[in-house]
Amino acid sequence: MLPGSSDQRVEVTKLQELVYELKIDQVMTRQVITVRPDTTMRQLKEILRLNRISGAPVMQDGTMVGIISIEDLIKALEAGDIDGRVAERMAKQPQTIYADETIMQAVNTFGRYGYGRLPVIDRDGNLVGILTQGDIARGLLRRLEIDYHEEEIHRYRASHIFEDIASDQTGLILRYKVQPKDFVHCGEAASRLKRALERLGAKPSVVRRIAVASYEAETNLAIHATKGGDLIAEVQPERIRIVAVDTGPGIDDVEKALQPGFSTAPDWIRELGFGAGMGLSNIKACSDEMRLESKPGVGTRLEIIICI
Amino acid sequence: MKLAEIVDRLDLVVLSAADKLDTEVTGGYASDLLSCVMARARKGNVWVTLQSHLNIVAVASLLQLAGVIITEAMAPDAATLQKATAEGIPILTTSQTTFTVVGHLAQLGIAGSASQEMEAAPTR
């Protein structure tokens, strides 16, 4: 165990775990730049330069016959053989590694042979990728970042906005337009609101309730509102208020609309899975307060309050 | 159990986000009504449905579901798959019925959670 704070120890353990857990095909580069045996070293120089790589497998008729690297190129330059062929300078029968092996095996292989890159093959012997030590480092960092992101996002970023911006009442207003009968984009307002709340650091359980409520409110606007409507979210440190407003047609019987299973959605919309008549009950179940006001011919206003 | 293993055991066809099969599946839910799914499916669940419409991706993405299994060989259109790819939601298909798929999942130990039945249950 390394000396240091417990945080560092956790980090080291996590890394150890990841090198055994992550598979090579999760971190390798899939787009492999290859050359042919009859490629000249001069061409190779350009290929390496343009692609910013330091080596490439050599392929002939779909089979890997060798590997060539920038060191081979330097030797060719020293020997004044820049117009020679790759075939004469490549390493034959290169060391390979299987795509389904763990990063740990790759780390060992790199350590043992000191290669800059390893061609990755599947169990049938086909070249499926290439792996450098950089790929491993990036793969591990990406994975750590994802884990870190998932753990920390809720605590850290939230405090920011609402603590740094001082006022007697700070609120953030997010407004989304919902188009009528647009089931292609339906759900996007809720998705964007959800993402915003995650950034702001709301708790996952609260985010879920808001996501469900705003999705249902958005769907209602898309299904029913003649001209679509607005989904407006006002985020405050302690609560979020979501208002869905439209300009008609309005609800004939609000009491009835609130009954679970009651729906006025046409058949074609129901066939898409919408209009089950559960929308408003879902919203109610997810919210701390809900108010529905409507006037036929004028419009509908749904207000939802969820404590954060 | 990882989603990849479910794909393997149930012989599902992966139509999108093949790189997102490494997710641990937390349970399952089956319904063709989006509102019911919104109410009861949980993060990391696999959702079994006949629906192949684009909005399944919105629902799956909002709830952070592990994946969607579309049954009875219903074919999602290109727009659905495009969106699923963009959102990183695996869309999996099979010719089997929802009933059969859920049976297989149950045998593999994928369950619906108790909280699904209690929380957000409609008041009748």
Say if residue B120's pLDDT is above 60: no
- The pLDDT, as a whole number, for residue A55 is 92
Interface test mutation site (partner B, options A25, A100, A176, A212, max chain B beta carbons within 10 A): A212
Q: How far apart are CA A42 and CA A76, in angstroms?
A: 9
In this structure, are strands A91-92 and A63-69 parallel, antiparallel, or unpaired? antiparallel
- Weakest-pLDDT range from A268-282, B32-46, B87-101: A268-282
Residue A151: per-residue pLDDT: 62
Residues paired with A102 in a beta bridge: A23
A228 to chain B, any CB pair closer than 8 A? The answer is: no
Lowest mean pLDDT among A2-11, A211-220, B32-41: A2-11
Q: Are B38 and B18 in contact (CB under 8 A)?
A: no
pLDDT at A174 over 50: yes
Distance CA(A187)–CA(B51), nearest Å, equals 16
> Chain A contacts of B63, Cβ < 8 Å?
208, 211
Where residue A157 falls among pLDDT bands split at 50, 70, 90?
low
Contact B36 A183 (CB under 8 A): no
**Whether the predicted pLDDT of A186 surpasses 50:** yes
Domain residue spans of chain B: 3-112
Would the pLDDT of A6 be above 70? Answer: no
Q: According to the model, what pLDDT value does residue A1 have?
A: 40
Please state at what angle helix A204-224 crosses helix A279-286, rounded to 10 degrees.
Answer: 150
Q: At what angle do helices B55-62 and A188-200 cross, to 10 degrees?
A: 20
C-alpha separations of A17 from A20, A151, A232, B60 in Å: 5, 17, 44, 29
- Tell if the CB–CB gap between B122 and A260 is shorter than 8 Å: yes
Architecture of domain B3-112: 3-Layer(aba) Sandwich (3.40)
Partners of B62 on chain A (C-beta within 8 Å) are: 187, 190-191, 194, 211-212, 215
| Cα A188 to Cα B62: distance, rounded to the nearest angstrom | 9
Q: Using a CB-CB distance cutoff of 8 angstroms, which residues of chain B are in contact with residue A273?
A: 32-34, 49, 51, 53, 55-56
Q: What is the mean pLDDT of residues A205-214?
A: 93
User: In Å, how far is B112's CA from the nearest CA of chain A?
Assistant: 18
Cβ–Cβ contact B74 with A under 8 A = no
Confidence check: pLDDT of B119 > 50: no
Judge whether residue A12 has pLDDT over 60.
Answer: no
Q: What is the largest CA-CA distance in chain A?
A: 90
Q: How far apart are the first and last CA of chain A?
A: 41
Tracing tokens 């910013």 back to the chain, one arrives at A52
Residue of A274, A283, A287 for testing the chain B interface, max B β-carbons within 10 Å: A274
What is the mean pLDDT of the segment spanning B79-106? 95
Which residues, 6 or more positions from A63, have their beta carbon under 8 angstroms from its beta carbon?
none
Residue A116 has what pLDDT?
85
- Is B80 in contact with A183 (CB distance < 8 Å)? no
Q: What percent of chain B has pLDDT over 70?
A: 90
Chain A neighbors of B116, CB-CB under 8 A: none
Nearest neighbour of A187 by CB, restricted to B62, B120, B121: B62
Domains of chain A: 6-138 (3.10.580.10), 169-307 (3.30.565.10)
The model's confidence at residue A275, banded by pLDDT at 50, 70 and 90, is confident
The pLDDT value given to residue A272: 85
Residue A231 pLDDT greater than 70, yes or no: yes
Give chain B positions within 8 Å (CB) of A212: 38-39, 62, 120
The chain-wide mean pLDDT, for chain A, equals 87
Among A45-54, A182-191, A229-238, B115-124, where is mean pLDDT lowest?
B115-124
Tell me the H-state helices in chain A. Answer: 6-21, 24-27, 41-51, 70-78, 86-89, 103-113, 133-164, 188-200, 204-224, 254-257, 267-271, 279-286
Taking only the tens place, the pLDDT of each residue in A236-250 is 888 999 999 999 899
Position B48 scores a pLDDT of 97
Sorting pLDDT into bands at 50, 70 and 90, what band is A160? low
pLDDT at A155: 55
Minimum-distance CB partner of A187 among B39, B58, B121? B58
B56–A contact, CB cutoff 8 A: yes
Measure the N-to-C terminal CA separation of chain B; round to a whole number of Å.
35
pLDDT for the residue B121? 42
CB proximity A176 to B under 8 Å: no
Distance from C-alpha of B119 to C-alpha of A166, rounded to nearest angstrom: 37
pLDDT at A2: 41
**DSSP sequence for A40-65:** BHHHHHHHHHHHT-SEEEEEETTEEE
B34 and A219 in contact (C-beta within 8 Å)? yes
* pLDDT confidence band for A158 (50 / 70 / 90): low
Strands A172-178 and A229-235, how do they pair?
antiparallel
pLDDT average, residue stretch A80-96: 93
Which of A191, A261, A276 is facing B62, going by the closest CB pair?
A191
Per-residue pLDDT, A152:
63
* B48-62: average pLDDT: 94
Q: What confidence score (pLDDT) does residue A74 get?
A: 94
